[in-house]
Homo-oligomer: A and B are copies of this chain.
Amino acid sequence: MTEARYDVIAIGNAIVDVMAPCDDELIEELGLNHGGMTLVDAERAQELYDAMGPAREISGGSAANTLAGLAALGAQCAFIGQVADDQLGEVFAHDIRAAGIDFDTPARPGHPPTARCLIFVTPDAQRTMNTFLGASQFLPPARLNPEAVAAAKVLYLEGYLWDPEEPRAAMRRAIEAAREAGRQIAFTLSEVFVIDRHGDDFRALIEDGLIDILFANHHELFALTGTDDIEAGIAALHGKVPTLVVTRSAEGAIGISGGTRAEVAAEPIEEVVDTTGAGDLFAAGFLYGHVNGEPLERCLRMGAICAAEIISHYGARSEADLRELVAQRLG
Q: A residues engaging B (CB < 8 A)?
A: 18, 20, 49-50, 52-59, 68, 86-88, 91, 94-96, 98-99, 113, 315, 317
The answer to whether A98 touches B57 (Cβ under 8 A) is: no
The answer to whether B56 touches A68 (Cβ under 8 A) is: no
Picked from B20, B54, B315, the residue with its CB within 8 Å of the CB of A56 is B315
> Residues of B contacting A57 with CB < 8 Å?
56-58, 91
Q: How far is the CA of A159 from the CA of B56 in the complex (A)?
A: 26
The answer to whether A55 touches B98 (Cβ under 8 A) is: yes
The 8 closest A-B pairs by CB, nearest first: A57-B57, A87-B87, A54-B95, A56-B58, A54-B98, A53-B98, A54-B99, A87-B88
Inter-chain pairs besides A54-B99, A56-B56, A57-B57, 11 sampled, C-beta below 8 Å: A20-B98, A50-B94, A53-B98, A53-B99, A54-B94, A54-B98, A54-B317, A55-B91, A55-B95, A55-B98, A56-B57
> Residues of B contacting A68 with CB < 8 Å?
54
> Residues of B contacting A58 with CB < 8 Å?
56-57
Q: Which of A52, A54, A55, A86 has the most CB of B within 10 A?
A: A54
Q: How far is the CA of A113 from the CA of B88 in the complex (A)?
A: 13
Q: A65 to nearest B CB, angstroms?
A: 11
Q: A312 to nearest B CB, angstroms?
A: 13
Picked from B52, B315, B317, the residue with its CB within 8 Å of the CB of A98 is B52
Q: How far is the CA of A99 from the CA of B20 in the complex (A)?
A: 12
